[in-house]
Amino acid sequence: MLLEARDLTVVLKGDTGDVRVLDAISFSVEAGEIVDVVGPSGAGKTTFLRALARLLPGATGALFLDDTPAEKIGPGAWRAVVALLPQKPSIVDGSIADNLLLPWTLKVRAGRTRPSEAALGAALTRVRLDIALDRDASRLSEGQRARVALLRVVLTAPRVLLLDEPDAALDDVSSDAVTQVTREFARAGGAVVRVRHHRSDGLASRRLHLESGRITTAEEVER
């Protein structure tokens, strides 16, 4: 398995005491696989992705990447290969190029070669964005922002993509572009875990139903 969780548990402070948001979830995903996580609001879906990305220090249980325990991989190095795209990703002040190259300003990628301008332009074409790299990112529409944010993650070549409602509230063009990039990422050997509310788009091989912090059903999806 590329990514595996065993007995993943998250307990958070609530108004009336501790709340067990995730309750001993065990889960794995293989290279090339896309898994959808569905369930009602408040079921713990976003928390699940954040725990897989090691963004919740209080989470307990065990995580493995290619059978290597998470404890042997630094948090920054882990998140460089197990990358989370939140439901409302941030766009920083500056140009589109500034946003796409933002990961290379971080310490974890110090000294690594940045994508060329040609590579950035080709990436924009992949998601059907016919816009200049020097365009002010603040002028982007919601759908354009979503596509730029997804590209920013994919360009760093992670091995696992954690997508929190990647096509929520997007127009058809943006949604189709996000679907295409997700498909290409998996076909190239990456693994994808997506929180989704829309009907199936035919990409996922499995659908996990999360409710009250537990996986209540796990079903294979016919494609």
Higher pLDDT pick, 47 / 110: 47
- Reported as a single tens digit per residue, the pLDDT across 65-80 is 999 999 999 999 999 9
Q: Find how far residue 84's CA is from the centre of its chain.
A: 4
Q: Find how far residue 149's CA is from the centre of its chain.
A: 11
Q: E-assigned strands of the chain?
A: 3-14, 17-29, 34-38, 60-65, 68-69, 82-85, 160-164, 191-195, 206-211, 214-220
**Whole-number Å distance between alpha carbons of 159 and 116:** 21
What is the pTM assigned to this prediction?
0.93
- Reported as a single tens digit per residue, the pLDDT across 135-193 is 999 999 989 999 999 999 999 999 999 999 998 878 888 999 999 999 999 999 999 99
What was the pLDDT predicted at 39?
92
**Whole-number Å distance between alpha carbons of 118 and 2:** 31
The HSE-up count of residue 151 (CA atoms within 13 Å, CB side) is 28
**Whole-number Å distance between alpha carbons of 28 and 50:** 15
Q: Over the chain, what is the mean pLDDT?
A: 92
- Reported as a single tens digit per residue, the pLDDT across 4-17 is 999 999 998 877 77
Task: Confirm if 12 and 70 have CB atoms less than 8 A apart.
Answer: no
Q: Which residues pair with 11 in a beta bridge?
A: 20
CATH classification code of 3-93+158-220: 3.40.50.300
Q: Find how far residue 137's CA is from the centre of its chain.
A: 21
**Whole-number Å distance between alpha carbons of 199 and 116:** 37
What average pLDDT does the segment 46-50 reach?
A: 96
**Whole-number Å distance between alpha carbons of 89 and 137:** 13
- Reported as a single tens digit per residue, the pLDDT across 79-130 is 999 999 998 888 999 999 999 999 999 888 888 899 999 999 999 999 999 9
Question: Position 69: which residue type?
Answer: P
